[in-house]
Amino acid sequence: MIQNILTGIKCTGTPHIGNYLGAIKPAIERADKDANSFYFMANYHALNQITDAKELQQSVKEIACTWLACGLDPKKTVFYRQSDIPEIFELATILSNFTAKGLLDRAHAYKAAVQDGRDVNMGLYNYPVLMAADIILFDTNFVPVGADQKQHIEIAADIVKAFNAIYGKVLVVPEPLIKKEVATIPGLDGRKMSKSYGNTISLFANEDELLKCIKRITTDSSAPTDPKPTDHLIFQLYRHFANCELENRIGWGEAKQKLFEVMNAALKPMRERYEQLMKTAELENIFEDGTKRAREVARTTLDRVRKAIGVI
128-144 exposure pattern, b = at least 16 Cβ within 10 A, e = fewer: bbbbbbbbbbbbbbbbb
DSSP code, position 20: I
Q: Cα 275–24–159 angle (5° rounding)? A: 125
pLDDT band at 168 (very low <50, low <70, confident <90, very high): very high
- Would you tell me how many other CB atoms lie within 10 Å of the CB of residue 172? 18
Burial of 169 (0-12, 13-18, 19+ CB in 10 A): exposed
pTM, full prediction: 0.92
> Distance between CA atoms of 131 and 112, rounded to whole angstroms?
18
Task: Identify the pLDDT of residue 26.
Answer: 87
* pLDDT, average across residues 183-200: 85
| CATH code for residues 195-275 | 1.10.240.10
CB 133 within 8 A of CB 160: no
Residue 181 has pLDDT above 70, yes or no: no
Average of per-residue pLDDT values in the chain: 94
Which of 179 and 100 is assigned the larger pLDDT? 100
Residue 210 has pLDDT above 90, yes or no: yes
Task: Identify the pLDDT of residue 261.
Answer: 97
Task: Identify the pLDDT of residue 196.
Answer: 80
CB 131 within 8 A of CB 104: no
* CATH superfamily of domain region 3-183+281-309: HUPs (3.40.50.620)
The three-state secondary structure class of 133 is helix
- Would you tell me how many other CB atoms lie within 10 Å of the CB of residue 236? 18
Q: What are all long-range contacts of 217-220, with beta carbons under 8 Å and residues at least 24 apart?
A: 217/188, 217/256, 218/188, 218/189, 218/190, 219/252, 220/252
**pLDDT tens, position by position, 55-108:** 999 999 999 999 999 999 999 999 999 999 999 999 999 999 999 999 999 999
- Would you tell me how many other CB atoms lie within 10 Å of the CB of residue 212? 13
Give CATH 1.10.240.10 domain extents, the chain.
Answer: 195-275
> Distance between CA atoms of 59 and 9, rounded to whole angstroms?
11
Give CATH 3.40.50.620 domain extents, the chain.
Answer: 3-183+281-309
Residue 182 has pLDDT above 80, yes or no: no
Task: Identify the pLDDT of residue 204.
Answer: 94
Task: Identify the pLDDT of residue 14.
Answer: 81
Which segment, 107-116, 161-170, 192-201, is predicted with the most confidence on average? 161-170
CB 67 within 8 A of CB 283: no
pLDDT band at 35 (very low <50, low <70, confident <90, very high): confident
DSSP per-residue string spanning 141-182: SEEEE-GGGHHHHHHHHHHHHHHHHHH-S-S---EEEEPPPP
Task: Identify the pLDDT of residue 32.
Answer: 65
- Would you tell me how many other CB atoms lie within 10 Å of the CB of residue 251? 15
Which of 189 and 308 is assigned the larger pLDDT? 308
Q: By C-alpha distance, which of 162, 93, 149, 148 is closest to 122?
A: 93
CB 192 within 8 A of CB 186: yes
* Percent of the chain at pLDDT exceeding 90: 83
